[in-house]
Chains A and B, each alone.
Chain A
């Protein structure tokens, strides 16, 4: 299985380059077909990888949680060819530290990989109806982008992570610039997007280097396993708080721009507005997750002390502020695309709340939400694209109403995914948001309260928009077609292909909402290791908490969940029992 890992990156990238080349030479039809076939193949492959991980995984990576110095990042399969290594200059001596290219799959990475290929596949298959002749080219770029994403999600060392992170810029630039409704606007948006990201990622190199040099003196460490193991060791007095904080903030800057954390989000709404919805589906669902994934991969396991100091208060508060700000801004949007952009900003706030609660539930909820937010966002943007080609405008107030009568299938899916996004129980968002809020409630209840208010606001703008657009009396006047002339004009309801794809996505969303334990068991050992390390650091407050792995046997005996024994967590832990009983 280890040897499959590089192919998960290489296959989409090489196929994407080939498809782009074919499409540029005029073979649009062929390129389009190959792209569809490749995307399905990719989805099947990553489903297979995720399933074999679920079968083998959690058992294969068990570790004694009490021992310090145990790596918190433990991939099940590792691909680490010795021929792909370099000696990099480091430290004050002439010695050079060894860097080895390494890929590895753990639960979190596997889940993100699944998301990436699912969204790519859906975007390519549905994009066929929405972009017309240049579909093959779009598919090629999407495949290249998903390959770069796979590199980020599978990376097991700092450099591979960074290279994937930067590499993704090229296809994303093409996606944003190439298919917008207004060529000039989308080009400008693409430039802004690339410059914003570079403004984050170039200082991030410094942060990565500071991380590599943080522990172990002259011998720099590049691989995640070694770094997380070193971070899990008892606090080294030689590592000053200052140097950990300096690495932390540089990384927060770089990753924060990528994921559009609240004060650094300025690139996001105009980019989503200018990009074609099919491209935005990928950008918003997967590319933005790179930043969150970086938080989960780099900050939480490797800089635990700084995370404890700044995580809940600074980043958690930013998350709560984003929930509120995003929801309020979404209330005022006329354009469906910017409405969704702000709504996505708001939903990412929940993930931030979960991750930076630094609790076991919060982390699990955050990761789960990363997947499901991606799924829902992708579906919503693809549906918006479908509305756009039918109405010719993305304005949801103009000459709207009664569309459900004209396009019942489209309306059904739209309502379904809106409900999922608003956090209806039984659908996918509910679980992740609940877990995130529960996690934060144990640390800072008022932040959770703000988050709950955000849920209310979210339901408000979403339902208002659905009501106006799909129900009521049909408007007699026709909306003006604005800038969507390049898009093919469609009048009928969804065809069989989109119906199939949306049904699949809806099924996944339903599965995520009804049986969350299947999803949680993919990555729970990973998030628990991280959370437990953080608990160990915080000392007395922590000792009362037992962890699923520490108490695996006992909790299986009495059938309790991972969090018990603390008065506050007693209440918080209760609903968890019903959500994800231990396997």
Chain B
């Protein structure tokens, strides 16, 4: 599949993960989120930006525990858990948030 913004096409795999990480932009993230039926709030953007920063340094999305800890630090302890992340990204923070952040899908027994 592919996404289109202003006549520009962005290639994605069968599940909607963009194939060229470098082509990501906030506009594209918004479009992917729309596709996923997610309305992006500040909290959503914080998670997406954290994923991108982590990926920049470690070449992989953060483990769920790393993410929940970071979210807890930012938004308060009561939000630093998996359930809160699922309320933001119902199909799972690891997979759905990665898709919006333009990162490859985490694979394995997860």
- Asked if A pairs with B, the answer is no
User: Which residues of chain B have a CB within 8 Å of any CB of chain A?
Assistant: none
User: Which residues of chain A have a CB within 8 Å of any CB of chain B?
Assistant: none
